[in-house]
């Protein structure tokens, strides 16, 4: 399996990047793409088996990757992650805060435990990773951070906890972009819409009709791909985005623009999806 990036070879040669949630889905695609462009990628997540598998995949294609098992909700584990990265690599050029999680539920049925789990993973975990990256290395050396949002611009019925947390991340992104500009640190975010990713497999079968309807409601009439999200993240990490900070890129096929006030007919003319992997 080889990853074919849209960017030039060796774009990140000799550089080190952390990708949280790097063992599955979008995080896995980002890790493969960065490694294919010459970076050493440090994968971080809670499940070692997934991390080991992705690190082995990258090694098999000639890339460079390592991993650290860590729960980004735990301050001590975040600190230990950076201890490891800086001891082993001595540098950090970029951070992709991809890790997160949520579950479907009407707001009135979300328990305090469930609320805290989602908000602490998404919002608090992102904050801890950003803060540690800045204090431990980027404050003195600069760098680039990309945070993960969702398509939550009109609220997100069924995921009040995640939408609230991601809205907090968007504001955090803008705040840190201003505060940390003095150190040469850029902070941006991406907001994927409905993406064909392994994350969809965790939703129950009863949700499938809703997903199918959501696809029909997207102006480009399809789901996005993991590679399309990864490419946007890599762009924001790259020198091409050197004058971009505090921004959130929507990767949603126009889904966040359409409020069902205009019928978009079935047209079959949306651009074909870009796939980064090939056997």
Q: Is 1 among the domain residues?
A: no
pTM of the model: 0.92
The predicted-structure confidence for 135-173, as pLDDT tens digits, reads as follows 999 999 999 999 999 998 988 888 899 999 999 999 999
**Alpha carbon distance 18, 273 (integer Å):** 26
Residue where the block lists tokens 């889905």? 25
Q: Is 209 among the domain residues?
A: yes
Q: Is 204 among the domain residues?
A: yes
Which of the four pLDDT bands, split at 50, 70 and 90, describes residue 259?
low
HEC string of the chain equals: CEECCCCCCCCCCCCEEEEECCCCHHHHHHHHHHHHCCCEEEEEECCHHHHHHHHHHHHHCCCEEEEEECCCCCHHHHHHHHHHHHHHHCCCCEEEECCCCCCCECHHHCCHHHHHHHHHHHHHHHHHHHHHHHHHHHHHHCEEEEEECCCCECECCCEHHHHHHHHHHHHHHHHHHHHCHHHCEEEEEEEECCEECHHHHHCCHHHHHHHHHHHHHCCCCCCEEHHHHHHHHHHHHCHHHCCCCCCEEEECCCCCCCCCCCCCCCCCCCCCCCCCEEC
Q: Is 268 among the domain residues?
A: no
Mean pLDDT lowest for which of 8-12, 171-175, 200-204? 200-204
Total domain count, the chain: 1
The predicted-structure confidence for 63-109, as pLDDT tens digits, reads as follows 999 999 999 999 999 999 999 999 999 999 999 999 998 888 889 99
CA 202 to chain centre: 17
Percentage of residues in the chain with pLDDT exceeding 90? 76
66: containing domain: 12-253
- Which CATH number does the domain housing residue 228 bear? 3.40.50.720
Q: Is 265 among the domain residues?
A: no
Q: Is 3 among the domain residues?
A: no
Mean pLDDT of the chain: 93
Whether residue 118 is predicted with pLDDT greater than 60 in this model: the reply is yes
Q: Is 234 among the domain residues?
A: yes
Q: Is 5 among the domain residues?
A: no
């Amino acid at each position: 399996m080889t990853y074919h990036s849209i960017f030039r070879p060796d774009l990140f040669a000799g550089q080190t990047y952390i990708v949280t949630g790097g063992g599955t889905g979008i995080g896995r695609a980002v890790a493969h793409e960065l490694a294919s462009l010459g970076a050493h990628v440090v994968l971080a997540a809670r499940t070692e088996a997934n991390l080991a598998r992705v690190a082995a995949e990258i090694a098999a294609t000639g890339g460079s990757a390592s991993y650290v098992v860590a729960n980004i909700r735990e301050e001590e584990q975040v600190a230990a992650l950076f201890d490891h990265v800086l001891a082993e690599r001595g540098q950090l050029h970029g951070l992709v805060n991809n890790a997160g999680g949520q579950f479907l539920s009407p707001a009135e049925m979300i328990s305090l435990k469930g609320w805290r789990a989602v908000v602490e993973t998404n919002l608090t975990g992102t904050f801890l990773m950003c803060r540690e990256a800045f204090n431990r290395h980027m404050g003195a050396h600069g760098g680039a951070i990309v945070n993960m949002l969702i398509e939550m611009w009109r609220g997100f019925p069924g995921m009040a906890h995640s939408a609230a947390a991601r809205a907090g991340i968007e504001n955090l992104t803008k705040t840190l972009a201003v505060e940390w500009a003095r150190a040469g640190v850029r902070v941006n975010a991406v907001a994927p819409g409905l993406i064909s990713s392994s994350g969809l497999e965790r939703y129950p079968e009863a949700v499938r009709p809703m997903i199918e309807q959501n696809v029909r409601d997207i102006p480009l009439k399809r789901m996005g791909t993991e590679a399309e999200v990864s490419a946007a993240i890599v762009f924001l990490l790259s020198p091409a985005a050197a004058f971009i900070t505090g921004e959130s890129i929507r990767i949603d096929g126009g889904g966040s623009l359409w409020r069902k006030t205009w019928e978009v007919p079935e047209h079959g003319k949306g651009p074909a999806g870009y796939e980064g992997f090939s056997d």
